């Protein structure tokens, strides 16, 4: 397991242009992101390779982190940043769902 101190160090800056990949048990990353940034899971989807991609944000979208959890249960931070904004779902042609 990756030491959480390393994960916290690599995630210390809320703005990233490139994220060093940090991998650990999913629960350990969720705990660290919750404690350090008040981020919680908001959205998820299944990738073609069988991994789960998950978006965590603060309540106000101030910071966000994207995790990918492989079928073996290992989660990795694949992107992070700030100013996440949800957009209303729309159909083709701009009609709201």
What are the pLDDT digits (tens) for 14-62?
Answer: 444 455 678 999 999 999 999 999 999 999 999 999 999 999 999 999 9
Say what the pTM is. Answer: 0.71
Q: Does residue 90 belong to any structural domain of this protein?
A: no
What are the pLDDT digits (tens) for 74-90?
Answer: 999 999 999 998 888 77
Which 3 state secondary structure label does DSSP give 45?
Answer: strand
CATH code, 77? 3.30.160
For residue 66, give its domain range.
Answer: 4-82
Percent of residues in the chain assigned helix, strand, coil, to nearest 5: 20, 35, 45
The backbone torsions φ and ψ at residue 32, rounded to the nearest 5 degrees and listed phi first, read -65, -45
Query: What is the per-residue pLDDT for 20?
Result: 67
Q: Does residue 38 belong to any structural domain of this protein?
A: yes
Could you give the number of structural domains in the chain?
1
Q: Does residue 88 belong to any structural domain of this protein?
A: no
């Amino acid at each position: 397991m990756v030491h959480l101190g390393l994960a916290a160090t690599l995630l210390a800056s809320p703005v990233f242009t490139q994220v060093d990949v940090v991998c650990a048990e999913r629960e350990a990353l969720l705990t660290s992101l919750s404690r350090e940034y008040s981020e919680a899971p908001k959205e998820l989807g299944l990738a073609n390779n069988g991994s789960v991609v998950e978006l965590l944000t603060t309540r106000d979208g101030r910071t966000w982190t994207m995790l990918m959890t492989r079928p073996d249960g290992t989660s990795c931070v694949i992107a992070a940043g700030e100013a996440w904004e949800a957009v209303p779902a729309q159909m083709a042609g701009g009609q709201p769902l």
